[in-house]
Amino acid sequence: MQNNNSTANEVPVQSTQGACTKHYASVIIGHITEDINIDHEDNTVRICGGAVLYSSASAFALGHRVAAVTKLAESDKARLEQFTIPKEDIYAIPCESSTVIRNKYYTADKERRDCVCLSRGTPFTLADLPADISGDIYHFAGLIFGDYADDMLCACAKKGAVAMDVQGCLRHADEKTGEMYFEDWAAKKELLPYITYLKTDAAEAEILTGTSDRAEAARILHGWGAKEILITHNTEVLAFDGENIYTCPIKARNLSGRTGRGDTTFAAYLTERLHSSVPEALRVATATVSLKMETPGAFRGTRADVEAYLSAFYPEEAKA
C-alpha cells in the first residue's frame, strides 16, 4: 500500500522474500475526525480528533516509533497535518467519507455528554493494513461499532499483541439521526481471548460486566480472556495484569484538554509496557495524560516534559 504522505527525501527499504520494510512499536488503526466540541457554557470549538490522533501523539512523544493507519476523504486530507508523528509513518487511505462527531458536554468536568455522528468514516478491512509494515502491538483505536471487521483482530493476533479500545465495540451511531449510544458487545466472550491489552472507561466497564466496581470489572474481563486491563476514570487510571490491581491518580490542573483522555493514556501505557513493568508504565501514562489534559488537542510535549511532570507531581508514585 502506498503511503500518501511520504516525503521526497524518504529512501524506501526494499522488501526481500516478503520481509517487512518497517517495524513499529505500535501500529494504530483508526479514523482521524473533525470534532465539534460544545462545552457546558455553549462555547464551540472545532478540532481534529479521533483515537488514532491522540494515541499516536502520546506514544511518539515518549520516544516510541508508531504508525498511524487512517482513512479519510480526499477533501479532508488537511486533517493529516494534525498528526505529530513523522509523515512517512502516516498511512492514509483515500475513501468516500470521513468521520465528523459533535460532542455536547453538560458539566465542567466533561464527564457527561451527548455525541452525534454527523458523518461516518468508511470502515477498515484487513486489506487496509500496509503489507510492508509490522508492529509489536496492533492497536485498534475505533470510535464506532463497525469501524473494522472482527477478522482483523484475529489476523493481527497472529502477528503481534492486539490492543483494543472497547469504545469501538460498544458505541453505536443511529443510522437515521447519527445519535450515538452504547450497548453491550455481543462478541465479547468470543473475541476477548485474542486481546492482550483492553482499555475501557468506567462506564464502558460497567456496560460490559454489569458492575460499577472497577477492580471487579477488570477481574471479570480478564476472566473472559483479555490478558491486561486498563480502566480510566476522572480520578485515576486502573491496571490489572491478572494478578495485581494497580492505580495511579490523575493530577491535571485543568480540563481544557479533556477530549482524548483515554486514547492518550492507553497508547502511552501500551508502548511503555514493551520495556517497563505494569506500575511504571501506568505511572508514566497517567502523568502523560494529566499533562495533556491541561491543553486542548493532541499531546505535543516531549518525554522530558513528562519526566519533569512526574518529578513535580508524582514523587510518591516513583518506583523504588
CA distance 217 to 25: 28
**Per-residue pLDDT, 21:** 83
Q: Phi/psi at 117 (nearest 5 deg)?
A: -85, 110
Q: 197 forms bridges with which residues in the sheet? A: 163, 228
State the cell numbers at 122: 468508511
The residue type of 45 is V
Q: Which of 16-30, 82-96, 177-191, 248-262 has the lowest mean pLDDT?
A: 16-30
pLDDT at residue 109, as a whole number: 75
Instruction: Give the span between the Cα atoms of 91 and 28, in whole angstroms.
Output: 10
- Residues 272-292 have pLDDT tens digits of 999 999 999 999 999 999 999
CATH code, residues 22-317: 3.40.1190.20
The three cell numbers of residue 7 are 516525503
E strands, the chain, are: 22-29, 33-38, 44-49, 66-72, 90-94, 99-105, 113-119, 133-140, 161-165, 171-173, 180-182, 197-201, 228-232, 236-240, 245-249
| Average pLDDT value for residue range 47-63 | 96
pLDDT of residue 3: 38
Nearest-angstrom CA–CA distance, 1 and 262: 30
- What band does 19 get if pLDDT is binned at 50, 70 and 90? low
pLDDT at 5: 38
**β-strand partners of 179:** 116
Dihedral angle, C-alpha 157, 62, 94, 127, nearest 10 °: -10
**Which residues, in sequence order, are CB contacts of 182 under 8 Å at separation 6+?**
170, 171, 172, 203, 204, 207
Mean pLDDT in the chain? 91
> Is 268's pLDDT higher than 90?
yes
Q: Judging by beta carbons within 10 Å of its beta carbon (0-12, 13-18, 19+), is residue 226 exposed, middle or buried?
A: buried
Place of cell 499483541: 161
Q: Is the pLDDT of residue 317 over 80?
A: no
Query: pLDDT of 188-219, one tens digit each?
Result: 999 999 999 999 999 999 999 999 999 999 99
What is the structure's pLDDT at 318?
Answer: 67
Task: Write the pLDDT tens digit of every residue in 120-161.
Answer: 999 999 999 999 999 999 999 999 999 998 889 999 999 999
3-state SS assignment for residue 251: coil
Of all residues in the chain, what percent are helix, strand and coil, respectively (each to 5)?
Answer: 35, 30, 40
Query: What pLDDT sits at residue 15?
Result: 33
| Predicted local confidence at residue 111, as pLDDT | 73
pLDDT value for 107: 86
- Which has the closest alpha carbon to 248: 226, 222, 230? 230
Residue with cell 460532542: 103
> How sure is the predictor about 13, in pLDDT bands with cuts at 50, 70 and 90?
very low
320: pLDDT strictly greater than 50: no
Provide Rg for the chain, Cα atoms. Answer: 18
Question: pLDDT exceeding 90 applies to what percent of the chain?
Answer: 83
Beta strands 171-173; 180-182: pairing state: antiparallel
Residue 257, pLDDT score: 86
- List own/partner pairs for 276-279 with CB under 8 A and 24 or more apart: 277/319, 278/228, 278/239, 278/241, 278/244, 278/246, 279/239, 279/246, 279/248, 279/319
User: 8 pLDDT band (50/70/90 cuts)?
Assistant: very low
Specify the 3-state DSSP secondary structure of 99: strand
